[in-house]
Structure 1
C-alpha cells in the first residue's frame, strides 16, 4: 500500500514515455516505462549505454507475457545497437526483478543485486511449506482481520511466482560503496533498508562537463508517493520503519541538484526536500496512531482508520503491513505496548495495541 504524501518536486521533463516507450533523460541514459496490472500502473526501468561494453539495465518489470513482449521489441529497437551486458536489480519485488531471469537467459548478461535481495527472491520462488503457511495465518489472525480478508490474503499464495517466473541462478553481489563502470562513467552503489531488507540505489556524480549527478533511487525515494514500509509474517516483530527513516537521513550527503530517477513517477529534482517530506509523513502517521490507540485497538482497526477507502486484496496486504510497521516502531521506542491475545478471552485471538502506561503489561510471544 503506497500512501500519498505532500511535497513539491521539480520535474524537468514535460513528457512521459508511453508504456513500452523510452526517453533519453541524460546522455546515454534511457528512461523506459513498463505497464503494471495494478493500481500503481507502471514501473520505470533504466538503460545505461556503456558504449563498447554494452548496455546495463537497471530493473526490468514483471516477467509476464506482456512485459516480455515489450522487452523483445526494445532489444530489436532502442537497445539494438549494443548488447546487454549487465542486469542490475534494485530489490526483489516482482515489478523490479520479474523479467530478470528471462533477460539474463535471452541476452547472456551478468545479473547483479545485493545478496539479501537475491536470496529473498530465490526463497520466495521456492514457495512456502506448511509451517510458513501456518505462521502467515497466525500473523493475520492476530491482526484482527475479518475471516473473509484472511482467506483472501492467504489465497494469494503463489502470487510471487506469477510475477517472477524465474530468478537468475548466479549473482554478482553488490555492496554499498561498490562502483560500477558503465562506459566513461562510474556509478556508486548506495545501500538502504526499510522498503526491503537490502535494496540498492545507483549514484553517478556530476562529471564537471555540465552534467549534474544522477540517482537511480529504486523505490527508496519517490516523488509523489511513499514507498510501502511493511512488516511481514516471517518477521512479525521487525522495525523496518526505523531502518527507512535512517536511510532518509543519508540522502543529505548527495548534492541538492541531483536528478532523481525513481521507479515510479517522473524524474525530479528536490532530493533533500523530498526526503524531509517523507520523514514528516511518517511522523504524522505515528502521531495519528498514538491518538487512535488511546483506546487499545487491533492492527486491523488501525489499518481501517489509516486507509478508510475500499481496498483490494493486494492493497489490504500492504496497508496492514504498513500499519503494523508503525505500531512496531512505536513499541520499539517505548511509546506503545502490544497485549498478546488470550485465545480464550473472546477476542478471536487478536492482539491489542495501546499506549505505554495505559495498555497494561506487554506480553511477549
Structure 2
C-alpha cells in the first residue's frame, strides 16, 4: 500500500499562522483532551480571513485567538466563519468569533440544528430513554450514575451559536478570495459534515472525515438508537475517494497535513472491514455491546472512564447496528432488558426474542 507523505516538518507554533498553500494558513489550537490539538484553516478572503473551524470554548483558546490576531495584524480580521461539523472542538468558539467580528456562521443545516438541540440539554437531567439505552448496552449502575452526572456537559464547551446562519449545501461552489472551494458533505462521524475541496490549489480540508493517523469515532447515540451511521461512514469515504483526486494535499482537523488521500481512505475502509470480521467471529457466542470492545479497539476500555466508555459503547453499537441492518446478526433482550447479539446461524440468545431495530418509549 502507498505510504502517506507529510510535507511539513512540524506544525505551526502556538498563536502563529503558517502558510501551507497560497493564501491558506494552518493554525493549531490546544484541546483539554487526550487528543490535545485541533487544526484550523484561515483562507485569504479579500480584506481578511475566512476561517474553517474554531477550537473548543475555553479561556486558553480565547487567549490563543487573541494572540493570533495580535501577531497577524488588523489586515487578518475574519470575514466569515465556516464550521465542518457540530463537535465542540470545531464549533466551540464560533459564537465568540462571529460576535467579535460581526460576521456570519456558515454550516450545513443538520450540523447547525443538531448542535442547537444538543446544547439545549445543558442543565437537564439525563432522560430515561438515555439511561435505558446504556443499560441495554450492558452498563452497570456506577457507569449510569457517572453518565447522569456528566449529562449536559456538551453545551459547556460551546459559546452560544448565532441565532441565524448561512447554510452550506453539498456540491455548492464557494468563492473564497481568489479561488473556488466545493463543499463535499459526508456523514457517519456527524450528521452532515462539510469538507472543502479546492481544485485550483489541489487542497482538501477534510475535517474529521479523513485523518492520517487515527480513525474518527462513528457512534450511535440514545437520540436515535436504531440508526446506522457506519453505513453512512462507508458511503462517505467512498464518495470522497470518487470525487476528490489523489493528488491533493489533505488538511485534516487532527495530526498533520498529508498526501495520499486514496491510500488513506483504502486503509480506513480495510481496517473497518477487518474490525467487523473480528466482531462477527466474537458473536458466535451471545454478547452485549460492552463485551465486544476487544474486537474493535486496540486499548482497554475502563468502565470508570465515563467519556471513553461512552465513545466505545457508541461505536460498538454502530458496528452492531450495521450488522443488524445487513441481517447478519440477531438481537434479543434478556429478562433485565439487556441486549444480546449473536450471528444469525448460532444458537438463540437469552429469551430468544428478536428485537432489531429497537425503540424506547
Q: Which has the higher contact order (CA 8 A, sep 6+)?
A: 1
C-alpha distance in 1 between matches for 2:267 and 2:143: 32
Deviation, 1:304, is 5.0
1:268-307 pair list within 5 angstroms: 268-307=258-297
What whole-Å deviation, never above 9, does each CA across 1:251-303 have from its counterpart, x for those lacking one? 22321110100000101010011111000011011001111111000001112
Is 1:213 paired with 2:177?
A: no
Q: Specify the SS of the correspondent of 1:228.
A: coil
Question: How many Å apart are 1:152 and its aligned residue?
Answer: 1.7
Which of the residues 316, 329, 333 maps onto 2:309?
A: 316
Query: In structure 2, how many angstroms separate the alpha carbons of the residues matched to 1:310 and 1:323?
Result: 12
TM score, norm. by length of structure 1: 0.91
Distance in 2 of aligned mates of 1:20 and 1:338? 51
Pair 1:7–1:301, CA change in 2 (3 A): farther
Please point out which of 237, 255, 262 is paired with 2:252: 262
The aligned residue for residue 124 of structure 1 is 118
CA deviation string 1:215-252 (max 9, x = no partner): 00010000011110000000111110000101111122
Aligned-pair CA distance for 1:306:
3.4
Structure 2 alignment gaps of length 5 or more: none
TM-score normalised by L of structure 2: 0.92
For 1:145, the equivalent position in structure 2 comes to 139
Rounded Cα–Cα distance in structure 2 between residues aligned with 1:338 and 1:92: 31
- Structure 1: where are the runs of 5+ without partners? 1-5, 207-211, 344-348
Structure 2 equivalent of residue 209 of structure 1:
none
Query: Residues 20 and 313 (structure 1 numbering): CA distance in 2 closer, same or farther, change over 3 Å?
Result: farther
Structure 1 stretches of at least 4 aligned residues deviating more than 4 Å after TM superposition: 128-132
TM superposition shift of 1:310: 4.5
The CA distance in 2 between the partners of 1:81 and 1:128, in whole Å, is 37
Query: Alignment partner of 2:236: what SS?
Result: helix
Alignment root-mean-square deviation, CA = 1.8
Match of 2:341 in 1: 353
Q: 2:80 aligns with which of 77, 86, 94?
A: 86
Confirm or deny: 8 A CA contact 2:185 2:195 kept in the other structure: yes
